[in-house]
Structure formats: structure tokens, C-alpha cells
Chains A and B, each alone.
Chain A
Amino acid sequence: MQAQKTGDGEQELYAAHQKIYPREVTGYFTRLRMLSVVVLLGIYYLTPLLRWDGRQALLFDLPARKFYIFGLTLWPQDFIYLAALLILAGLSLFFFTALVGRVWCGYACPQTVWTEAYLWMERKIEGKRSKRMKLDKAPNSAAKIRTKALKHTVWIIFSLWTGFTFVGYFTPIDQLAAKLFSASLGPWETFWILFYSFATYGNAGFMREQVCKYMCPYARFQSAMFDSDTLIVAYHPERGEPRGSRRRGTDLQKAGLGDCIDCNVCVQVCPTGIDIRDGLQYECIACSACIDACDEIMDKVSYPRGLIRYTTENSAQGKKQHILRPRVIVYAAILLILCGTLLTNLLLRVPLELDVIRDRNTLYRETREGLIENVYTLKILNMDSKPHQYTLTADGIDGMKLVTDEPEIVVPAGAVQELIVRLQADEFNMESRSVAVNFYLQANEANHLKTVEEARFVGPGKT
């Protein structure tokens, strides 16, 4: 099924690009798709404006090296959580692809979502498919230039807003807006806003289906995730063929015709410009535009709907359909385990870190009382959203004393505090030249906020 295209597909891959003018569609799946587009765009543009605890709710604050995800604050040390989150996203893609095919492509991929938005603007300004094609072919005139200029202006404004929002995920958006209006944006902020705007403008305005065809790795390895029970958009050749135009009321039996009236509407609506009647192709983003289009035609000629429809290879061939199959179960199991692990780890995560660095200049000193003294620099990282007061203790050698000049250890929320401490111990209590000691740090009013860190205590050694 997949292979049938690749023989001459190679040739096609490198054929000169022809601009595609997707025809407008209406219908159930189109409405569903538009709903998804609107919701996703809404989420994208509005999320940076949400507030939480007096700060931006979702902010990957690169300058401050902190990620705020609603109530959670992640530090560079917590990098593993983000990596796990990305792996989780990748796995979900596998899972959903096995189950329902390329719904991601048709309904949720940013490439599709923004392309739809830009197409919508294009339609509002330049008109329907036939009008757009005529406009492009027409010689330059004042009216044509005006229409084109309007379209590009609207596109560019929308792109700039998109770029601004994007940068607003990485540096506080209110400050960014303030800087924008006082014309004091930094060079790099300006650069990234323009960079992302340009990428959006290019991808959604011009590249469109070519991104899916030539740049998207997912489209290429879809066959690895597909099986005969995966939901696909398919044409029903037994019912449709032989295709051909006909007069209303023709007896199909007598004329020897199938249900396809060969009106080509399914090709015209396709955003990737393929003919679904040629079978499953990797270019198909499963947007279901051809389903809605063909259903409308079927209604017009009063044939039953569903000549092009969502189906699976098995059910199209009249075989039994399996929703729960090993592949799906394995993906689901891995997904569940990973989700569970991530969640428990996040819940059990202690937002406190202690780093102990031994003084590198002197191994040890002897105090006036004849005790051995080691000096350490402690770095306390309070990753919580509240300030805390901590108690520091240490053990490892009998009678060891901990001395520090700070009367109390208070670390503000999301801050690092350095602290010099000295450990003093009697040489006779040391079992060897270098002994392991432990530092315990405990927040005073929060029992769960505690951590241990090991260090070495060095003495002159037994003589």
C-alpha cells in the first residue's frame, strides 16, 4: 500500500513545485478541524498572558535560568524532568499514531494550524480558489498589487505577533511589551522576534505542504508506526470504480460505472495536492478535507456518503478490526509507566539542594585547642517558591563540632546562598587520614525539606 508510490515517487519528489490552491470545504470534519485550530492558536497566544502567584504562569525564563510551570519551578538541575517530558511527548505521538494515524498532522501540528490560519486570511482577502488562481495569473495591476499588499501586510502583522508571543515564553512578556512600546528592545530579543516571525511567515504563507513533504521526519517514518488497524483516510475503490462522469439518473449497472463521478473535488481541496484515489500516500496529512468534500458531492448526486472515509486497512478489506493489539498495548504500557514515574518523581521532588566544596588551599588546620579543622564552602539552593530558614548539622566523627559565623541560615525563594563552615574534630577520634562526614540541612518549618550531602574530613593521619 505504501510502496506503490515510491517507484515513480522519486521522480515526483524532485519535480518542479507547483503552487497548490486548496479549495474551500465545509462539513463535519472541517468544523472539527477549525475548532482545533482556534483552540490551539488561542492556547498559544493566551498562555503567556496567564498569571500565577504574581508572575507569569508559564515562563521558560532563560536569563534567570528557571522554568516556571504554574506552581512548579524547575532549575537547570531539574533538566531531567524536561527531557522526560519530551520523551513522553514523543511516545504519545507513537501511541496515537498507531491508534488513529496522522490525526496529529491534520488537526494539531503547528505547521497545519498556522497554515490554516494563513489560508483563512488569504481567502478573506483574495477570495475563493478560482479567484485566487485568476489573480495570480493576471498581469500586474493596481488592484492586484493592492490585494497582494494587503494580504502580506496582514500576514506580517500576524507573524510579528506570533514571534513576539514566542519570545514571551522565554523572557517575561510584560517586560517585553513594555520594552517594545518604549522602543528599547535588546538586540537579541529583536532578533529572535524577527527570526520566529519570518519562520512563521515563510512556513505558513509559502512553504506550507512542502514542509510536510520534504522537511518532516514524522511523515517519513509513519509507515513504521502504522499497521492494518490504524485509522487512515481512504477511498473505496470497489465502490467508486470505474469512475466517470454521468448524467443525473443514469443507471449505474447499465452504464457500468462506480460511484465516483470523477469531479476531482477531492483533489482540489487537498492541501498537499494529492489524489487520495491513488491509495495511501505519505503526503497525506489525514486532514479529512477530501472526506467532507466527497460527502458533499455524494449528497448532491444522492449517493450514500462515505466513498472517501476514515477507515482501517482491515475494515476496508472486510476483516476483523483490532483496537487493542500488541503494538498499542506495548506503547500504552510504556507510556503509563513513564507517566507514573515522572509524576511520582515530581511529587517527591525536594526543592532544596546542598553543595559542599572543601577548601582547596589548606588541607587542614590545627586550632589553638589542638583540634583538627577543615573549612568548607556550602552552597544552599532553595528551589522552593517560599523563603526558608534552615538548620545545619553534621556528623561522621565522634565529638565533631560545626562552627559558622552566620547566626542563622535564611535563603530567599529561588536563591543560592553561600556559607563558610568549619568542622573541628579531635584527631584521636579519626579512624584514618580522611573520613567521610555528612552535612544535614533541614528547613525549620517544613519537615519534608531536607537533604544530606557527603564530604571528606582530612587530618594529619595516624603516626
Chain B
Amino acid sequence: MQAPIPDNMPRSHLVISVLWPSFGTAIIATGLFFSAFHPRDLVPFDLDIDVSPIAAYSIGFFLFWLLGIVSSYGTLYFTISNARFVGNQEN
């Protein structure tokens, strides 16, 4: 059986397959999150920090993106390592 992910798949495609879906998810998540919460209400312990909304949204977006990257990378990692494992067993 051929492994589902050929080893000759270019690295750039792997990188895109992690970055791209998580990017889309991050946009949706950021939209949902900040329509429910105002950045001003998210400052913990009444700390006196003043972040502009744009900064808050941007940081929020990147955090969501990071989260999505971790998840997408996990999927990719398990797919590849499982495929290799199955491939090795059959050989």
C-alpha cells in the first residue's frame, strides 16, 4: 500500500497545509470571540494596561492562529507518522 502522504511532497505544501486552514479558523474565531467580549473587559485583575482595540484584536487573532497551527500540525504529524508506521508494518 502506498503511504497516504508521499515522502516527496514538497515542504512548502506541508507548511501551507498547516498555516492556511488555521489562518481561516483564526479569522472566524477572532470574529466570534470579539463580538462576544469587549477587549476592555478582558484585562485580568483590574490591571491598569491600556491596549488599543486594534492591538487587542490583532493579538487575539495571532493567539487563535497559533492555536490552530498547533492543532493542524498535530493532525499532520499523526497522519504522517501513522502512515509511516502502517507502511513499515506492511513491508
Could you say which residues of chain B place their CB within 8 Å of the CB of A189? 54
Could you say which residues of chain B place their CB within 8 Å of the CB of A5? none
- CA gap between A198 and B75 in the complex, in Å: 28
Which range contains the number of B residues in contact with the other chain?
10 to 19
Pairs across A and B, CB under 8 Å, 19 listed: A14-B6, A14-B10, A14-B13, A16-B10, A17-B10, A62-B54, A65-B34, A76-B34, A76-B35, A76-B38, A79-B31, A79-B35, A186-B52, A186-B54, A187-B55, A188-B52, A188-B55, A189-B54, A215-B16
In chain B, positions 47-87 with a C-beta closer than 8 Å to chain A are 52-55, 57-58
B83 to chain A, nearest CB (A): 14
Q: Does A44 contact B (CB under 8 A)?
A: no
Partner of B38, one of A65, A191, A215: A65
Cross-chain contact A63 with B54 (CB below 8 angstroms): yes
Q: Does B1 contact A (CB under 8 A)?
A: no
Partner of B20, one of A65, A187, A215: A215
A427 to chain B, nearest CB (A): 37
- CA gap between A8 and B16 in the complex, in Å: 23
Q: Which B-chain residue is minimally distant from A17 (CB atoms)? A: B10
- CA gap between A17 and B52 in the complex, in Å: 43
- CA gap between A171 and B55 in the complex, in Å: 13
Cross-chain contact B35 with A10 (CB below 8 angstroms): no
Please list the residues of chain B having a beta carbon within 8 angstroms of any beta carbon in chain A: 6, 8-10, 13, 16, 20, 31-32, 34-36, 38, 52-55, 57-58
Could you say which residues of chain A place their CB within 8 Å of the CB of B57? 62
Q: Does A214 contact B (CB under 8 A)?
A: yes
Could you say which residues of chain B place their CB within 8 Å of the CB of A192? 58
Cross-chain contact A14 with B58 (CB below 8 angstroms): no
Whether A14 touches B9, Cβ cut-off 8 Å, given contacts A76-B35, A188-B54, is yes
Please list the residues of chain A having a beta carbon within 8 angstroms of any beta carbon in chain B: 10, 14, 16-17, 62-63, 65, 76, 79, 171, 186-189, 191-192, 214-215
Whether A214 touches B54, Cβ cut-off 8 Å, given contacts A10-B6, A14-B6, A79-B35, is no
- CA gap between A191 and B10 in the complex, in Å: 29
A60 to chain B, nearest CB (A): 10
Could you say which residues of chain B place their CB within 8 Å of the CB of A76? 34-36, 38
Cross-chain contact B9 with A188 (CB below 8 angstroms): no
Could you say which residues of chain B place their CB within 8 Å of the CB of A62? 53-54, 57
Could you say which residues of chain A place their CB within 8 Å of the CB of B9? 14
Could you say which residues of chain B place their CB within 8 Å of the CB of A171? 54
Cross-chain contact A65 with B54 (CB below 8 angstroms): no
Could you say which residues of chain B place their CB within 8 Å of the CB of A191? 58
A10 to chain B, nearest CB (A): 7
Q: Which B-chain residue is minimally distant from A187 (CB atoms)? A: B55
Q: Which A-chain residue is minimally distant from B13 (CB atoms)? A: A214
Partner of A65, one of B16, B53, B55, B58: B53
A354 to chain B, nearest CB (A): 18
- CA gap between A214 and B16 in the complex, in Å: 9
11 extra interface residue pairs, beta carbon distance < 8 Å, beyond A62-B54, A65-B53: A14-B6, A14-B9, A14-B10, A63-B53, A76-B38, A79-B31, A188-B54, A188-B55, A188-B58, A215-B16, A215-B20
Could you say which residues of chain A place their CB within 8 Å of the CB of B53? 62-63, 65
